[in-house]
Chains A and B, each alone.
Chain A
Amino acid sequence: MFEFKLPDLGEGIHEGEVLKWYVKVGEDIKEDEPLMDVETDKAAVTIPSPRGGRVSKLNGDVGEVVHVGDVVAVISEGGEAVAPSDTTPKQEKKDEPVVTAPAMQQQPASTGGNGKTTSVPPPEYGGRPVPAAPATRRLAREMGVDLRLVSPSGPGGRVTPDDVRVFASGDQQTTASGAEGVTSQETESKEVAETVNFEAGSSNIPFLELEPLPDFSLEGPVETEAVRSIRRKIAKKMVTSMVLVPHVAHMDDADVTNIEKFRKEAKQSRAGMKGEKLTLLPFVMKAVIAAMREFPSFNASLDPFKQEIIYKKYYNLGFAADTPRGLVVPVVKGADKKNILTISDEIRDLAISAREGTLDVAAMREGTFTITNVGPLGGKNLIPTINYPEVAILGMGRVEERPVVRNGEIVIRSILPLSMAFDHRIADGADAARFVTMVIHLLSDPKNLLLEA
C-alpha cells in the first residue's frame, strides 16, 4: 500500500481543485503515468503517479479542493506484476518492448505501444531520473520545483533551466511524464468541457439559453486554446460577478492638476530613493481609503447565504495588473497603515512579480476594494466589473489636459476621469455619488489629502 500525498505544487500554493482523474478505483496505473489534473490559482498541473500498481482509493471528486499533503490516492504496489491476467490489453502491449534487444538492430520507436503519438516517450522502466544538467537540477532545487512535473523542451526529454523557470512561474500546464506532452487540441477542449460539466440547453434563468457554438472552422481557419489557468480563473470570477451582482457605474472627473504637479516634483526629488517611481495610483488609494472610512458600505461584502452584510475594518487595496498571462490583481495589504511612498514601492514590486509570474498566491488574496487603471493604455473611460465579493471597483481613465471652466474662465487643467462600478445590493446611487465626490475632493489638492487621508 502506498499513500500518495499531494506534492508541493510550487511556491506558495497549498491547494488546488481536482480537474480530472486519469484512472478509476480498481484500475492499474504505471509509475509516471498521469494520475490527476489539479488546477491551482496559477496553473493546471498534471500530476504523475509516483508508483505503479492498482489504484485502491481516490480522494477528491472533480471540482473539489485538495490540499498539499492530503492523501489523494492509495496505490497497492505490484498490482500489475502479481495479476497479469487482469491487465488490460493496452498495458500488455506496452510491456512488450522491455525485453533486452540485441544492440544495433533496434529502431527508434516513433509511436508508443498504444499507438498514441507522444513527443517524449515515457521511459519503459521505472525510477530513472529526469534528464537535466547538474546546474538545472540545482536551480530546480533552489526554486522548489519537482523536475518530474516539468515539461522538457530539450532533446531526449531533457529539462532546460528555462523549462524550470517557466514551470515555476506557473505558465506550464502539462507535465513531464510525457504522455500528455502534446495532447491534441481536440482532447484538451474536451477535458475542459468535462470539467465544468457543461451542458448545452436551457439554464434555470428564464430566457438564458446556452446553445452549442457553431463549427467556426467551416467558415475559415481557426486555432483553439484550452481555457486554463489564469484565463479560467478570470472567466469564473467575471461570470460570477456579472451574473450575481447588480452593477451600477457612477462616473465623474477629478481635477488632478495640483496633485500631479506635487507628484511630479516629489518624484524628481526622490531619484534613487523610496518612492522614486511615484505614480498617481497611491494617491488615489489614499483618497479611496479616506472615502471608505466615511462610507463603510464600500468596504463590505454581502453574504447571499446568510443574508448579511459584512463591514470590514481593514483596508486591503487591489490593483489590476496586466501580465503576459492575463489579468491578475495584487493586493496592497493594510494600505491605510502605509504612507504613500511605501505604497508606491509596494505597488512597483508587486507589479514586477506579477509580470514575471512569481507573485505569491497569498499576495492576490484578501482584497477589499480594487482599482483598475487602464488610463495609461488609452481610453477615456471604462465600466469595470466588480472583483467579487468586493463591493466596488474604481476605474481610472487617462489623465488629460482639458479646457475647463473655472470662475467663468476657460483654463487648462489635468483631468482624471473616474468611473466606479458598485454593488447596488449594498449601496445606492446617492452613496456612490457622495463617495466619488469625496475622492475627487481629496484628489483636487494635496492639502485635502494631507488633512483627511
Chain B
Amino acid sequence: MGRRRERSDIILDILSVIQSKGGKIKPTHLMYKANLSHNQMRAYLSELIQKGLVETLQEENHEYITITQPGLKFLMQMRQMKEFEKTFGL
C-alpha cells in the first residue's frame, strides 16, 4: 500500500495535472487525474484560487481551471523543494 499523500504532494499533483494539460483542464478531469474526491478538490481549488495560483474560466458553458504565471513559478519551486527533500533525505 502506498503512503498517504501529504498536503504539499496533493497541491503539487493538482498543479502538475493542470500544467500537463496545457495549463487548462475541466474540474472533473482534474478530480480524476489528481485522484481527489469532489470535496477535497473544491477545498484545495478555493485555496489555490485565493493565492492566485489557479483561476477559473468559463468557456462555451464549461468551467475550466487554468494555471497562472505565479502558479507555474510555484510549481517549479515545489518540484525543486521535492528534489531537495529527496536529496537530503528530509
Pairing of A with B: no
Q: Give chain A's interface residues, CB within 8 Å of chain B.
A: none
